[in-house]
Amino acid sequence: MDQPFSPEQKEYLQGYFAGLAFRRPFAGQLPNGLITSQAAPGLPNLAEPPSEEEQTVFGTPVSDLCEQEVWKLERNGLDVWDELISHAAENKLPDKKHTFWFRFHGLFYVGPTQDSFMLRLRIPAGELTAAQLRGLADVADDWGGGYAHVTTRANLQIREIAPKNLIKVLTKLQEIGLTSRGSGVDNIRNITAPATAGIDPTELIDTRPLAKGLHYYILNNRDLYGIPRKFNIAFEGGGAIGTVADTNDIGFIAVRVPEGKGVDPGVYFRVQLAGITGHEQFARDTGHIIRPHDSVAVAAAIVRVFNEHGDRTNRKKARLKYLIDKWGTGRFMEEVEKKLAFPLVRLPLQDCVPPQPPMPHAHLGVYKQKQPGLNYIGAVITVGMMKTRQMRRLADIADNYGSGTLRLTVWQNLLIPDVPDGFVETVKRNLVKMGFHYEANTIMGGLVACTGNTGCRWSSTNTKGQAVELGRYLEKKVKLDQPINIHLTGCPNSCAQHYIGDIGLLGAKVSLSGEQVEAYHILLGGKCVGGQALGREVFHGIPFSQIPALLERVLKTYLNRRKGRQETFVQFTARHSVKELQEMFSD
C-alpha cells in the first residue's frame, strides 16, 4: 500500500489501539520514578506476563546448551577477579565451575594429579625479552615448582602454583609486560609466527607485527572470548622455519603472486582453515589470497562467524572443522566476507609462487641471519623442560652476546638471535655447560612431548619422563645423519601432535602379567615440514618397557634399507604397507 493513511483512517486506528490498551492493563515507570498507567512508545509494560519465548545463545536454546556453555552464560570468565582474590586469600581449590572460569586467566587447576595450578602464558610470535625470562624464572622459583615448560605453541607454562599465590602470579606477569588472559578453554590460543621472523634471509615477510597485532586485537575485544571451542591461529612467512600452520584453525601462508594474475604482484597470504590433526585433518586452502595488512581483520571476521554459528551443544563437535564440514568452505567464507569492509580475492593455488619448503630442524644449530655479521643459534631444550637456573643463564647469554631477546619455537626449543660472528663459539660452549646442546641431527633434538600424567589427568602415560629415557637410549644405539622427530602424546587430544611426527606415540594402558602398565600405539610416517602426511598406526598397545628396543630396530632398519642417504624416514615408510613395516621391524 503506497498511499498514506487518510485522516479518517488515522482516527480509527488510534481509537482501535486505544481500545486495546484499555483492555490490557498497563503499568510503566517514568524516568522520574513515578508509575503511570498510560502506555507510551519505548515504555515497557511491567504488568505483562513474562515472555514464553526461550532465551537463546546465537540461536541455540539455553536448554540445549552443553554444561560449559551454561557456565559461560552464567558468568563471563573474564569477570571472576573477585573470586580469584577470595580463593587466594583462603588458599582454596576451585570447584568445577571455577576451574573452568579460571582458565580464562590462563590458570589451570590440574587436580587430581596435583593440588595446584598450571599457568599458561600468551607470548605472541614466541618472542620475549631476557628480562621477561628472568621474571618468569622468579615466578617459578617464588610461587611454582622451580621450572618451566616450552609448549608446542611457542609458549611457556609454569606449574605447581598454590591457590594462595594466584594473584601474586598474575600481577607479576603484568609488571614484566606479559599476560595469560584467554590462554585456556574456549578462547583463541597463543598466536604463532616463525621463530626466525625478521632475521631469516629466505623469508618472504616478517610476520611478527601481524601476530602481535592480532594478539592485541584479541586482548581488547571481549566478544572474542568464550567462543564455542579453542581456536589456533598461525602465520608462516615463507622462510626456513615453519609453524606447522596447516595444523591450525587458521593458517596464513605467505606466497608470492607474479605479474599477470589479475592482482598487484607481491606477497600475499593464502588462507587455510580447520586444521586439527588430532582429528586427522590438515588445514585446507580456501582459494583466497589476502594482503598481509588485512590479516588481522580477516582473522577477526573468521572467528566471529565461528562464534555465532559453531556448535554449543556438543563439545566433541564444537571445533571449526565441524562447522565447515556442515556448511562447506564456500558458504563459510561468504559469511566471513559479509563482515568485512573489503572484498576477498580468489586466486587459484597454481597462480601463486609457493615459498621454499621449510628446512627440517632449521630451528637447531647455527645459521646466518639476513643482518650481516649476525647469527641465530637454536638450542635443544629437551621436551621443553627448563629449570630456573637455566632460564636465567639463557637470559644472560641473550643479554651478553645477543640483543636481549629470545625466540620460542613450536618444537619446544628456543633460539638466541643476533649473535655476532665473534661470539658464536662462546654461546655454543655456554649452552653445553648449562646442559643444552645445539646439534640438529640428534634424537634428543627431535623429541616433542606433552605434559604427561605427572601434570595432566587426561594422559595415560608419563610422556616427558619416558621421552627423555627413550631419547637417551636411542642416542647411545643409533647415529642419525638427518633429523627425525619423535612425538609422544598421552591421550587422543594430541597436544604433542603424534600424527605428524616421523614417529608418533599415543599413550595407552595395557594389561601385562595381570597388571595395567603404560604403553603406546606407534604411528610411523607423519610429516608436516615440506609436505603433509598423517602417520599410520603400525604397532598397537606396546608396553613402554619394550619400546626403546623396538624403535632401535625401526631406525636401524631404515638406515640399512633406505634407497640412499637422501631418502627420508617418511619416504621410506611411505613405500611400504603397514604389514610390510610390521614384518620388517619385528624380531
**Tens digits of residue pLDDT in 150-162:** 999 999 999 999 9
Averaged pLDDT for residues 62-82: 97
The C-alpha atoms of residue 70 and residue 345 are separated, in whole angstroms, by: 39
The C-alpha atoms of residue 308 and residue 284 are separated, in whole angstroms, by: 21
Lowest model confidence (mean pLDDT) among 38-47, 132-141, 476-485, 503-512:
38-47
DSSP string, 271-309: EEE--BGGGTB--EEEEEEE-GGGHHHHHHHHHHHHHHH
Contact present, 532 and 242 (Cβ < 8 Å): no
Residue 162 neighbours by CB distance under 10 Å: 16
The C-alpha atoms of residue 271 and residue 253 are separated, in whole angstroms, by: 7
Burial environment of residue 142 by CB neighbours within 10 A (0 to 12, 13 to 18, 19 or more):
middle
- Of the options 3.90.1150.10, 3.30.70.360, 3.30.70.3340, 3.90.1310.10, the CATH number for the domain spanning 365-439: 3.30.70.3340
Alpha helix stretches (DSSP H) within 407-446: 424-433
Averaged pLDDT for residues 419-448: 95
Contact present, 548 and 503 (Cβ < 8 Å): no
Given CATH 3.30.930.10, say whether it is the number of domain 445-585: no
Number of H helices, E strands in the chain: 16, 24
The C-alpha atoms of residue 358 and residue 376 are separated, in whole angstroms, by: 16
Percent of the chain scoring above 90 in pLDDT: 85
Helix, strand, coil in percent for the chain, rounding step 5: 40, 20, 40
The C-alpha atoms of residue 538 and residue 316 are separated, in whole angstroms, by: 26
Cα within 13 Å of Cα(228), Cβ side = 26
Cis status, amide bond into 41, omega within 30 of 0: no
DSSP state of 31: T
Q: Is 20 helix (H, G, I), strand (E, B) or coil?
A: helix
Q: Which cell is 260 given? A: 599477470
CB neighbour list of residue 500: distance below 8 Å, 6 or more residues apart:
244, 247, 277, 487, 526, 527, 528, 533, 534, 535
Q: How long a stretch of residues is the chain?
A: 587
CATH topology of domain 72-175: Sulfite Reductase Hemoprotein; domain 2 (3.90.480)
Task: Tell the residue number behind the cell numbers 563471563, with chain if given.
Answer: 76
The C-alpha atoms of residue 123 and residue 180 are separated, in whole angstroms, by: 9
Strand partners for 161? 117
Q: With b meaning 16 or more CB within 10 Å and e meaning fewer, what string describes 236-255?
A: bbbbbbbbbbbbbbbbbbbb
Averaged pLDDT for residues 248-277: 98
DSSP string, 138-188: HHHHHHS-SEEEE-TTS-EEEEEE-GGGHHHHHHHHHHTT-B-TT-SSSSB
Q: Where in the chain are the domains?
A: 1-48, 72-175, 208-237+243-351, 365-439, 445-585
The C-alpha atoms of residue 466 and residue 477 are separated, in whole angstroms, by: 17
Strand partners for 252? 235, 271
Contact present, 251 and 245 (Cβ < 8 Å): yes
Q: Which cell is 76 given? A: 563471563
pLDDT at 113: 83
Percent of the chain scoring above 70 in pLDDT: 96
> φ, ψ for residue 573 (rounded to 5)?
-70, -30
Asked if residue 1 has pLDDT above 50, the reply is no
pLDDT class for 261, splitting at 50, 70, 90? Answer: very high
Q: Which segments within 372-450 are labelled E, that is strand?
A: 374-379, 385-387, 405-408, 414-420, 447-449
CATH topology of domain 208-237+243-351: Sulfite Reductase Hemoprotein; domain 1 (3.30.413)
pLDDT class for 16, splitting at 50, 70, 90? Answer: low
Contact present, 236 and 207 (Cβ < 8 Å): yes
Cα angle value 71/74/78 (rounded, 5°): 80
pLDDT class for 176, splitting at 50, 70, 90? Answer: very high
- 245, 218, 221, 219: which is closest to 234 by C-alpha? 245
The C-alpha atoms of residue 488 and residue 182 are separated, in whole angstroms, by: 26
pLDDT at 45: 87
End-to-end CA distance of the chain: 88
Q: Is 577 helix (H, G, I), strand (E, B) or coil?
A: coil
**Tens digits of residue pLDDT in 554-581:** 999 999 999 999 999 999 999 999 999 9
The C-alpha atoms of residue 129 and residue 430 are separated, in whole angstroms, by: 19
pLDDT at 43: 85
Q: Which cell is 214 given? A: 592480532
The answer to whether the 72-175 and 445-585 domains have the same CATH topology is no
pLDDT at 549: 97
Please give the torsion angle defined by the CA atoms of residues 446, 188, 407 and 216, in that order, rounded to the nearest 10 degrees. 170
The C-alpha atoms of residue 182 and residue 185 are separated, in whole angstroms, by: 8
Angle at which helices 295-309 and 208-219 cross, to 10°: 40
DSSP state of 452: -
pTM assigned to the model: 0.90
